[in-house]
Amino acid sequence: MSKYADVILPVPLDRYFTYSIPSSLEHLVMPGTRLYVPFGKNRRLTAITVKTHDEKPSGYSVRDILGVLDEAHPSLLPQQMKLFKWISGYCLCTPGDVMKAALPAGLRPDNSPNTHSFKPKTGLFVRPGPNLTVNGMTDPDLLFGNRAKARKELFCKYLELSGADVNPESPGLVSRQSLAAFCKSPSVLQALIDEGILEYYEAETGRLKPFTGKKRPLNELSQVQQKAIDEIRNSFLSRNVCLLHGITSCGKTEIYIHLIKEQIDKGRQVLYLLPEIALTTQIMHRLQSVFGDDMTVYHSRCPENVRAEIWNRQTGPEPYKLVLGARSAVMLPFSNLGLVIVDEEHEPSFKQNDPAPRYHGRNTAIMLADICHAKTLLGSATPSFESYFNALTGKYGMVTVSQRFRETGLPAPIIVDVAEMKRKRYMNGIFSPQLKEKISEALENGKQVILFQNRRGYSQTVECQDCGWVQKCDRCDVSLTFHKENGMAVCHYCGRKYRVPVSCPSCGGKSIRGRGYGTERIEEDIKELFPKARTARLDLDSAKAGYETILSDFQDGKTDILVGTQMISKGLDFGNVSVVGILQADSIMSYPDFRATERAYQLIMQVAGRAGRKESGAVVVIQTRQPEAQILRMLSFSDWKEYFTGQMTERKLFNYPPYSRLVSLILKSTSLEKVEKASSSMAEKLSALFGREMVLGPDAPMISRIQSRHIRTIMVKNPVETSVRYTRTLLMQAVREMEEEEGLNGVTLFFDADPQ
């Protein structure tokens, strides 16, 4: 038994803390056990035990823990403790940051007024009472004879509901409510209780609704899919990670389902990660109809109590066999993980940008699988260059599927030169004649249409037509987007809303107008052009009212045209879409970032992939001012490798990932002067430590002020061979020097490893 515990606390300090364990509690404390401890003057916090030992810390008086929160078994498994350590090391954050991100709030109570600790949901149940004999159970006549007909009937109902009529040794759960539903009067049930034949007791009921739909057997795989799955299994014999590069609609999800079933049959668990949970409904239903209550869904928008309940079940005797989740699900306990699937692995939203830990869901998943001796399957029609590179260089296995399940082929691209159309006056408004024609053709044939635009809201900016003044956010360095629904100009970075002025604050003119097209306006215009079509919109604004109905209406053919932002690009499977329109492809092709073309390419291919999933003859109409752009000429599945190879040459030339490893330092302050001074002196220190050519910046990012805070970034480039630990040591040294010499007063600084 050990007398001391080193623990993680949810505080922003980069260290563990040591507490003493009263001897009466010693036997309960082990790595992963949650403790309740005093902190500072009068705070009390939940802590996670990292290790126990007998070395009395010197230099300060050690305090006793106040209690043990996990009495039956630790809430965190050894594998998780390892993973958390890796995350804080790799992502350059504190152990407390990881703890806060991982553990549902209900499982880390503290003594602040708005905390609430998780309480299992309980209900009232009925079970055999003290006066019920085994004989009475098998022969109710013994109990009631010929009298008390109502009581006898109700008792027999209990036997039926609990299964005790067949299996009197272990009656199943029967809630009071379900039995009471058969009572003619409440007094009948009460009488059985009073007689001691039945009794009430309280038990945990859980917040998660059981699956009530119908389960179906697995679909049989096509030959192509069967071949792919054999190759995946094969690849797992020699490698831990396999990349499934499969054309949109080749049936990746079906392949996953078969692999999941295989793991479950072997008694192992599966974690299935998706980039954004908002759009998982479709996949959730598909999986549920096969796996029913063996699975659950876990993401940061689940209610806290539900998250806590799932967490607890994961460390209990019957953990979920399949967890479908967003990136935060990598933090869940898995006692017997066999496989991790990362679907749409190229999605940038797997990366958490704020707050710390700034971890990448995919990379963390690979690490989790490694720790658990499980395998990882990455799936995408447009793999991240990083993963594809790892596959080509042999670090990962790779399996390619280039045929759609229904052999429909990708939609044919129609590239529309918008500048030319405008010059010839074929186009006023945002719809080219080519797109209009395709839409009306589709509608006539009872087909559906998806229109993609990268910007929500009505108009992209609010401007004065006389002097060019543009309405901007007071707190951020961004122009505002006009939203017609609420008549306000909105900052998409901080959410602040503004009235649009009647007269221009700069010249006093009265001609203030919105400019550019957001999804709201496109929806409005399309309704005008095709008044008979039923139109809907899917973006962050409309999703608030319920994205599920929007999607299911489209799926059921209740709407004909769906206008949306990138939300519509992710893995959705609609059979009847024959036209996809990308309205302003330029808006996604021109970001000043080395990943810009990779992203644009992925987005265009993914959006296009929503069309023609069931029938051939679909088209994707791409409106652009750069019809010659290289990515628009390489939209067939087989071009992918060539495009990738070309891009890699450039990345190598400029020493960008995957040929180097990036860490960015972000400095923020309300004072421009302070942030400028701190960032340039930080950049100097880093140059001295890493070498001048390895440090870029300080730079002002494209949006250099958000919520009144000025931002500067510094990028450190490292050769891939340098260890993360080495980089971390140097970075920490620079920070320490800064703090000692001039202090970082008024400036916050944080790291982002592998910024996306």
Which residues make up the interface to ligand ADP (CB under 6 A)?
219-222, 225, 246, 248-254, 405, 573, 613
User: In sequence order, which residues have a C-beta less than 8 Å from that of residue 222 and are 6 or more positions away?
Assistant: 251, 405
Which residue spans within 443-570 are E strands per DSSP? 448-452, 461-464, 481-483, 488-490, 497-498, 512-515, 535-538, 561-564
Q: How far is the CB of 493 from Zn ion (least distance, A)?
A: 5
Binding at 225: pick from Zn ion, ligand ADP, none (beta carbon under 5-8 Å per type): ligand ADP
Binding at 506: pick from Zn ion, ligand ADP, none (beta carbon under 5-8 Å per type): Zn ion
Q: Which of 685, 718, 92, 478 is nearest to 677 (CA)?
A: 685
Binding at 573: pick from ligand ADP, Zn ion, none (beta carbon under 5-8 Å per type): ligand ADP
Q: Which of 232, 238, 247, 126 is nearest to 182 (CA)?
A: 126
Of the two residues 288 and 461, which places its CB atom closer to Zn ion in the complex?
A: 461
Of the two residues 222 and 552, which places its CB atom closer to ligand ADP in the complex?
A: 222
Binding at 494: pick from ligand ADP, Zn ion, none (beta carbon under 5-8 Å per type): Zn ion
**519 neighbors 457 (Cβ within 8 angstroms):** yes
Binding at 251: pick from ligand ADP, Zn ion, none (beta carbon under 5-8 Å per type): ligand ADP
3-state SS of 20-47 is: ECCCCCHHHCCCCCEEEEEECCCEEEEE
Binding at 411: pick from ligand ADP, Zn ion, none (beta carbon under 5-8 Å per type): none
Binding at 507: pick from ligand ADP, Zn ion, none (beta carbon under 5-8 Å per type): Zn ion
Single-letter amino acid, residue 635: L
Q: Which of 618, 310, 263 is nearest to 438 (CA)?
A: 618
Helix (H) or strand (E) holding 420: helix 418-423
User: Rounded CA gap, 167 and 462, in Å?
Assistant: 73
User: Rounded CA gap, 106 and 127, in Å?
Assistant: 31
Q: How far is the CB of 573 from ligand ADP (least distance, A)?
A: 4
Q: How far is the CB of 495 from Zn ion (least distance, A)?
A: 7
Q: How far is the CB of 561 from ligand ADP (least distance, A)?
A: 21
Q: How far is the CB of 232 from ligand ADP (least distance, A)?
A: 14
- And the tokens for 497? 């809303």
Of the two residues 290 and 622, which places its CB atom closer to ligand ADP in the complex?
A: 290
**471 neighbors 654 (Cβ within 8 angstroms):** no
Q: What is the DSSP string of 543-610?
A: HTTTHHHHHHHHHTTS-SEEEESGGGGSS---TTEEEEEETTTHHHH--SSTTHHHHHHHHHHHHHTT
Q: Which of 325, 359, 304 is nearest to 85 (CA)?
A: 359
Of the two residues 91 and 279, which places its CB atom closer to ligand ADP in the complex?
A: 279
Binding at 730: pick from ligand ADP, Zn ion, none (beta carbon under 5-8 Å per type): none
Q: How far is the CB of 480 from Zn ion (least distance, A)?
A: 8
**What one-character DSSP code corresponds to residue 631?**
G
Of the two residues 214 and 532, which places its CB atom closer to ligand ADP in the complex?
A: 214
Q: How far is the CB of 254 from ligand ADP (least distance, A)?
A: 4
Q: What angle do CA 206, 211, 216 make, to 5 degrees?
A: 155
Of the two residues 221 and 273, which places its CB atom closer to ligand ADP in the complex?
A: 221
Q: What is the dihedral of CA 77, 80, 85, 88, to 10 degrees?
A: -140
Q: How far is the CB of 277 from ligand ADP (least distance, A)?
A: 17
User: Rounded CA gap, 564 and 455, in Å?
Assistant: 9
Q: How far is the CB of 343 from ligand ADP (least distance, A)?
A: 7
Q: Which residues of 344-357 are buried (b: 16+ CB within 10 A; e: fewer)?
A: bbbbbbbbbeeebb
Of the two residues 407 and 485, which places its CB atom closer to ligand ADP in the complex?
A: 407
**610 neighbors 450 (Cβ within 8 angstroms):** yes
Of the two residues 226 and 670, which places its CB atom closer to ligand ADP in the complex?
A: 226
What is each CA distance from 403 to 29, 223, 283, 570, 642, in whole angstroms?
A: 55, 11, 21, 19, 18
Of the two residues 94 and 249, which places its CB atom closer to ligand ADP in the complex?
A: 249
User: Rounded CA gap, 628 and 619, in Å?
Assistant: 19
Of the two residues 97 and 463, which places its CB atom closer to Zn ion in the complex?
A: 463
Q: How far is the CB of 256 from ligand ADP (least distance, A)?
A: 8
Q: How far is the CB of 475 from Zn ion (least distance, A)?
A: 5
The residue number whose beta carbon is nearest to ligand ADP equals 251
- And the tokens for 290? 């096969």
Of the two residues 135 and 506, which places its CB atom closer to Zn ion in the complex?
A: 506
Q: How many CB atoms lie within 10 A of CB 61?
A: 6
Of the two residues 288 and 727, which places its CB atom closer to ligand ADP in the complex?
A: 288
User: Rounded CA gap, 568 and 540, in Å?
Assistant: 11
Of the two residues 282 and 707, which places its CB atom closer to ligand ADP in the complex?
A: 282
**484 neighbors 525 (Cβ within 8 angstroms):** no
Q: How far is the CB of 467 from Zn ion (least distance, A)?
A: 3
Of the two residues 124 and 702, which places its CB atom closer to Zn ion in the complex?
A: 702
**394 neighbors 600 (Cβ within 8 angstroms):** no
Binding at 250: pick from Zn ion, ligand ADP, none (beta carbon under 5-8 Å per type): ligand ADP
Q: Which residues of 12-27 are buried (b: 16+ CB within 10 A; e: fewer)?
A: eeeebbbbbbeeebee
Binding at 405: pick from Zn ion, ligand ADP, none (beta carbon under 5-8 Å per type): ligand ADP
Of the two residues 75 and 479, which places its CB atom closer to Zn ion in the complex?
A: 479
Binding at 491: pick from ligand ADP, Zn ion, none (beta carbon under 5-8 Å per type): Zn ion
Of the two residues 476 and 600, which places its CB atom closer to Zn ion in the complex?
A: 476
Binding at 222: pick from Zn ion, ligand ADP, none (beta carbon under 5-8 Å per type): ligand ADP
Binding at 254: pick from Zn ion, ligand ADP, none (beta carbon under 5-8 Å per type): ligand ADP
Q: How far is the CB of 284 from ligand ADP (least distance, A)?
A: 13
User: Rounded CA gap, 70 and 78, in Å?
Assistant: 15
Q: How far is the CB of 670 from Zn ion (least distance, A)?
A: 14
- And the tokens for 417? 């030169």
Q: How far is the CB of 498 from Zn ion (least distance, A)?
A: 9
Binding at 484: pick from ligand ADP, Zn ion, none (beta carbon under 5-8 Å per type): none
Binding residues for Zn ion (CB under 5 A): 464, 466-467, 469, 473, 475-476, 491, 493-494, 496, 504, 506-507, 509
Q: How far is the CB of 544 from Zn ion (least distance, A)?
A: 19
**90 neighbors 154 (Cβ within 8 angstroms):** no
Helix (H) or strand (E) holding 371: helix 361-371
User: Rounded CA gap, 653 and 141, in Å?
Assistant: 89
